[in-house]
Amino acid sequence: MEVKWNDTVIKILRGDITEQDTEALVNAANSRLAGGGGVDGAIHAAGGPAIMRELDSIRARQGGCPAGQAVITTGGRLKAKHVIHTVGPVYHGRDAEAELLAACYGNSIKLAAGHNIHSLSFPSISTGVYRYPIRLAAPVALRTVFSQLQIYPLQEIRFVLFSDADYEVYRKVVTELKLPE
Ligand code: AR6
């Protein structure tokens, strides 16, 4: 499905984020920026070793990346030129986790805008290994992106959901959501 928000086209689709041709992809990384399973593993596998080489130098410079923050690297062999690595919270049901999750989306858009990136694909951050329930994560993701686009109006945002069930949750939430004016 597709929604227009001011000057931005927002697409919600079922698919593999590594195949997206937006200028950048967002990766659901860990705070060591060490690679892993899930979408992180898929992005490194598809993009090749150039991504980890850049993460190695970021790690040497600043250590890892705390939850809620984001760093940017090349996309290596991906169609996307850049990967923005953000670190979601591990879900325990505390209030602070929603804020950290929102910060992942907000900081990713801010970093993209700062690098003159016009189109960006997001996975559903924290809802795999980090166990954030997608029914709770989807409204946080959507609300934050819609509101951040008022400050940084990118041309296109894609939410790329890996399963039919996740796609259905997003579709439902986006139609139900009272969007910021
Ligand atoms: N395209 C789109 N979405 C995907 C793909 C893909 N190719 N592969 C998986 N997903 P997860 P997290 C979905 O676990 O919860 C890693 O080991 C998946 O179905 O990748 O933030 C990192 O290194 C789920 O809905 O990320 C961290 O240690 C969503 O992506 C940790 O996992 C997120 O699941 C981060 O956990």
Q: Which pTM does this prediction carry? A: 0.97
The per-residue pLDDT for range 96-116, each reduced to its tens digit, is 999 999 999 999 999 999 999
Q: How far is the CA of 109 from the centre of ligand 1 (A)?
A: 19
Residue 177: band (very low, low, confident or very high) from pLDDT cuts 50, 70, 90:
confident
> Of 16, 71, 120, 162, which is best to mutate to test ligand 1, by the most ligand atoms within 8 angstroms of its C-beta?
162
Render pLDDT for 50-87 as a digit per residue (tens, 0 to 9): 999 999 999 999 999 999 999 999 999 999 999 999 99
DSSP result, the chain: -EEEETTEEEEEEES-GGG--SSEEEEEE-TT----SHHHHHHHHHH-HHHHHHHHHHHHHH-S--TT-EEEEE-TTSSSSEEEEEEPPPPSS-HHHHHHHHHHHHHHHHHHHHTT--EEEE--TTSSTT---HHHHHHHHHHHHHHHTTTS--SEEEEEESSHHHHHHHHHHHHH-----
Structural domain spans, the chain = 2-176
Whether the pLDDT of residue 178 is over 90: the answer is no
Mutation probe of ligand 1 site: the residue of 18, 129, 136, 164 with most atoms within 8 A of C-beta: 129
Residue with CA nearest ligand 1 atom 3: 162
Q: What is the mean pLDDT of residues 13-33?
A: 98
Position 175 confidence tier, pLDDT thresholds 50, 70, 90: confident
| Interval between CA 60 and ligand 1 midpoint (Å) | 25
Fold of 2-176: Leucine Aminopeptidase, subunit E; domain 1 (3.40.220)
Per-residue pLDDT band for 179 (boundaries 50, 70, 90) equals: low
Residue 181 has pLDDT above 60, yes or no: no
Q: How far does the centroid of ligand 1 lie from the alpha carbon of residue 44, in Å?
A: 12
**Considering only CA atoms, which residue is closest to atom 34 of ligand 1?**
128
ipTM greater than 0.90? yes
178 vs 3, higher pLDDT = 3
CA 56–ligand 1 middle distance (angstroms): 21
Q: What is the pLDDT of residues 146-165, one digit of tens each?
A: 999 999 999 999 999 999 99
Which residue owns the Cα nearest ligand 1 atom 28? 30
